Structure 1
Amino acid sequence: MGREVLPLTVDRLGDLTGTCADCVFWELGPALAARRRRHPREDKEGWLTATLLEWGSPGRVVYVDGRFAGYITYAPAHLVPRALAFPTAPVSRDAIVLVTARIDPEYVGQGLGRVLVQSAAKDVLRRGHKALEAYGSGSGRTDCLLPAEFLTAVGFRTARDHVTYPRLRLDLRTALRWRGEVEQAVERLLAPVRGLGPPQPVGTAHLEDPNPN
């Protein structure tokens, strides 16, 4: 089995399965989303292009034998408009926002979650940042937020508590020292959760604005 982890670029955006390539929940934020006039794919490509020019690739895509198997995205908070809309914002100055992540159901259990998160950790450390922070869902699984209980299972710690949208933090040096039991938790974090209908990529649904005021 040949694995390859590559930077997320515009030409690889179309490899994302399901509706991932068209989701702009994080990229536009509430105000911009309300005024959106273009097709979501155009907005997504526009965001990715601008981010590539300003900061570089905001993610990694993993392929197995040439086939898409999963992805992870992350970026500085000022490039992720939705990240400013949560009641537990803003993220810490030394942290990068973990935006979305997913492993395709066909490849769950093959260690690709560890591969992706550790690849992201190495990349973010190389750019001079110390941590990843994520807005977890405190009320169970959603399609745009990672469940807080899964984030804590892989080493995230609460940076600012909230009943619905806690902000959690992972020291990147910790991510690079994961052992087997944590790697298994990563797989559970990134894999679709059974019993919720058809598998949904993390970050595809358009959630209600967490901070409508």
Structure 2
Amino acid sequence: MTTRVQPLTLGSLADLPDHARRCLFWEMEPGETTTAHAQCDPEFEKEAWISSVTLSWGSCGLLLYSAPGGSSEEHVAGCALYAPPSSVPRASSFPTSPVSADAVLLTTLYVSELALTEGHQETLVQAVISELVRRGVRAIEAFGHEHAATISWQEQHKVHKRPGDCLPATCMIPASLLRESRFIEVAPHPEYPRFRYELDSDLGWKADVEAALMRLIETSTITFPSPAPVA
């Protein structure tokens, strides 16, 4: 399986996986009523949010494309979405809030089952790290979800305030996935721990050098001298 990672642009919004393209868990202000949620077009609202963040801050996501070995037909195998916490209304609702002022909030990290078995979760995470290092970000933070946790309805209601919200297991990043990706738990909680990944500015320089070397290898050809004619 070959893969490539591309920044999410307004032109590639349609390539987002179905749930990520329609889920408004992170993007809509939590509230007690269902009126706004029931009347809105999820895809339109998601596009409006991505457009707003992209225009004010820059690209807020990456898409992971893959193609089976020997095939030229690609499909989307994963995505990551991230933004400044001030652009994510739900970020202030968690018991482990707030997100640190120097961090960008990673809200979505999805990889298909096949890509996950191939180890491409690491490919996507490293692409997120490299992209944000180049943009001068100090750290990445994320709210993880502990799937086996059981907490009171009152505490869960603080996060899932609007009836009709997706379940945590559907639209939150599993805490186990963040640990596997070497995020550090900085705010423990039975169900909603907050994680952090410190970014090293040297990573951006190394990534640029590696990318330049790969481009050089791809475009270079080795020419061998023709053998001398036999008398």
TM-score range, shorter chain: 0.7 to 0.9
The list of structure 1 runs, each at least 4 consecutive aligned residues, that deviate by more than 6 angstroms after superposition, is: none
After TM superposition, the structure 1 = structure 2 runs for residues 153-192 of structure 1, keeping only pairs within 5 Å, are 153-173=180-200
Q: Distance in 2 between matches of 1:170 and 1:147?
A: 15
Q: Distance in 2 between matches of 1:105 and 1:149?
A: 15
1:26 lines up with 2:26 in the alignment: yes
Q: Greater relative contact order: 1 or 2 (C-alpha under 8 angstroms, separation 6 or more)? A: 1
Q: Is the Cα–Cα contact under 8 Å of residues 70 and 103 in structure 1 kept in the other structure?
A: yes
RMSD of aligned residue pairs (Cα, Å): 2.2
Name the larger-Rg structure. Answer: 2
Residue 203 of structure 1: aligned partner: none
Residue 149 of structure 1: aligned partner: 176
After TM superposition, the structure 1 = structure 2 runs for residues 1-213 of structure 1, keeping only pairs within 5 Å, are 1-31=1-31, 34=34, 35-36=36-37, 37-65=39-67, 66-140=74-148, 142-173=169-200
Percent identity over the alignment?
37
C-alpha distance after superposition, 1:127-153 (max 9, x if no partner): 221211111113437112222233223
- Greater helix percent: which structure? 2
User: Partner amino acid for 2:101?
Assistant: R
Structure 1 unaligned regions, length at least 5: 177-213
Q: Distance in 2 between matches of 1:95 and 1:67?
A: 31
CA 138–111 in structure 1, closer or farther in 2 if over 3 Å, else same: closer
TM-score, scaled to structure 1: 0.74
Q: CA deviation at 1:33?
A: 7.9
User: Partner amino acid for 2:5?
Assistant: V
Q: Distance in 2 between matches of 1:14 and 1:106?
A: 21
Q: Is the Cα–Cα contact under 8 Å of residues 139 and 163 in structure 1 kept in the other structure?
A: no
Q: How many residues align?
A: 175
Structure 2 unaligned regions, length at least 5: 68-73, 149-167, 204-231
